[in-house]
């Protein structure tokens, strides 16, 4: 039976989040020891195979329970007007995600409208049959959700604090490389090694994404190169990397580590045109052995017709040759900067730990020679 539901004020939500964060900062390790099962659950929801929406939704449920007990609120009843114990989960989500970002907590999504993502879109209640996509992962999420519903307010606050503690971003290790003076031939041998690393590793395109962003950063600077998340369903801005100024993006870059055809480029051009863009860099990094896949004449005609600047590269080496020689600095300086920048960008792209270690080993070999 429908009812007025539970009203949660913005002030109350912010207070609950702040209280949990303070607990996380003061007794985080104590909470880890107190709730070993929840440590496992949070790790699972944070895992690479789990849909990214499940962790932030779990944080929303924990926040709701930390503010109201069982008699007043059912955390599974995520729309306020549908029952007397319902509440607006989206209102909590609108505050949770920005709060987490501000406090350096990784909730796996930057979307403040996370409840708008499947399988939660337009749903009044979280139920066992909400989705048939990744059923094993959803079953685990639903188990977590029902467990949250059974918690006391105090337990929910502590477990929310535990989630914050476990998922607070660690400072990115800054790699520093010192390089003596060198000529361009020697410098380009370093870049060739990083190009080979990119050719040999993908991790769903994350390595190519980081490589492209790094080379663009050499030319345009860190603050102007925005690297997106090409694996994140929340990302809607065209392109995997944008170069921006005060007015927004001006260079739209697509990065693919799979074989690309003419239609793929045409589709991306359409997306950029739809948002008013006019300068495109398309990095088809796996096309080096398949040069006939792209009809460059047709694509040049498209660019002319639409008044676009369209640049296409078909390997990491082509991208290096296009951008590095235009970048400011002496050859040795560029080598040192690229080693540092690519290390940081790989971490930012969340590449698999073994790939990051492989890259660090490569750098150790390069800079010991």
Dig out the tokens for 287 from the structure.
């096309």
Comparing 43-52, 56-65, 176-185, 348-357, the range with the smallest average pLDDT is 176-185
Q: Which of 232, 234, 297, 230 is nearest to 268 (CA)?
A: 230
Q: Which of 215, 296, 230, 309 is nearest to 260 (CA)?
A: 296
| pLDDT given for residue 129 in this prediction | 82
246 pLDDT more than 90:
no
Tell me: the pLDDT tens digits for 292-324? 999 999 999 999 999 999 999 999 999 999 999
Beta bridge partners of 241: 227, 253
| pLDDT given for residue 48 in this prediction | 75
Tell me: the pLDDT tens digits for 72-98? 999 999 988 888 899 999 999 999 988
236 pLDDT more than 60:
no
User: Residue 305's CB: how many other CB atoms inside 10 A?
Assistant: 8
> Half-sphere exposure of 42 toward its Cβ, with a 13 Å CA cutoff?
22
List, in order, residues 6 or more apart from 137 with CB less than 8 Å away.
49, 50, 51, 54
Cα–Cα distance list, 184 to 1, 196, 290, 336, 364 (Å):
74, 18, 29, 13, 21
Q: Is the pTM of this model over 0.75?
A: no
For residue 168, give the DSSP letter: B
* pLDDT average, residue stretch 243-248: 85
Dig out the tokens for 313 from the structure.
């590269």
Q: Where are the domains of the chain?
A: 10-167, 184-366
Task: Using DSSP, state whether 182 is helix, strand or coil.
Answer: coil
Dig out the tokens for 173 from the structure.
């290790």
Choosing among 2.60.40, 3.40.1350, 3.30.420, 1.10.3470, the CATH entry for 184-366 is 3.40.1350
**Average model confidence (pLDDT) across the chain:** 90
* pLDDT average, residue stretch 21-43: 95
Dig out the tokens for 21 from the structure.
């964060």
| pLDDT given for residue 159 in this prediction | 97
**Between 237 and 183, residue with greater pLDDT:** 183
Tell me: the pLDDT tens digits for 91-143? 999 999 889 988 889 888 777 788 888 899 889 999 998 888 889 999 999 99
């Amino acid at each position: 039976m429908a009812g007025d539901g539970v009203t949660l004020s913005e002030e109350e939500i912010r207070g609950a989040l702040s209280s949990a964060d303070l607990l996380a900062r003061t007794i985080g390790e104590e909470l880890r020891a107190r709730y070993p099962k929840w440590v496992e659950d949070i790790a699972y929801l944070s895992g690479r195979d789990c849909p990214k929406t499940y962790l932030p939704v779990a944080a929303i449920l924990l926040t709701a329970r930390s503010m109201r007990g069982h008699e007043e609120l059912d955390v599974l009843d995520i729309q306020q007007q549908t029952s007397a114990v319902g509440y607006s989960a989206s209102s909590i989500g609108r505050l949770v995600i920005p709060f987490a970002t501000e406090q350096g907590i990784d909730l796996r999504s930057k979307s403040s409208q996370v409840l708008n993502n499947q399988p939660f879109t337009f749903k009044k209640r979280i139920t066992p049959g909400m989705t048939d996509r990744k059923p094993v992962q959803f079953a685990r999420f639903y188990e977590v959700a029902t467990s949250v519903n059974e918690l006391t307010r105090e337990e929910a606050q502590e477990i929310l604090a535990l989630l914050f503690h476990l998922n607070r971003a660690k400072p990115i290790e800054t790699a520093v490389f010192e390089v003596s003076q060198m000529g361009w031939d020697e410098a380009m041998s370093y870049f060739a090694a990083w190009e080979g690393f990119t050719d040999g590793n993908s991790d769903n395109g994350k390595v190519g994404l980081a490589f492209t962003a790094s080379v663009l950063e050499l030319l345009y600077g860190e603050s102007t190169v925005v690297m997106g998340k090409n694996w994140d369903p929340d990302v809607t801005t065209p392109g995997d990397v944008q170069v921006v100024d005060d007015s927004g993006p001006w260079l739209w870059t697509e990065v693919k580590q799979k074989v690309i055809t003419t239609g793929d480029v045409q589709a991306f051009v359409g997306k950029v045109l739809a948002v008013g863009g006019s300068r495109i860099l398309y990095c088809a990094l796996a096309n080096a052995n398949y040069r006939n896949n792209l009809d460059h004449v047709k694509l040049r005609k498209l660019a002319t017709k639409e008044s676009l600047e369209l640049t296409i590269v078909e390997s990491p080496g082509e991208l290096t040759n296009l951008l590095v020689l235009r970048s400011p600095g002496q050859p040795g300086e560029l080598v040192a900067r690229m080693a540092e920048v690519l290390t940081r960008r790989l971490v930012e792209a969340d590449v698999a730990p073994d790939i990051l270690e492989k890259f660090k080993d490569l750098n150790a070999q390069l800079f010991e020679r």
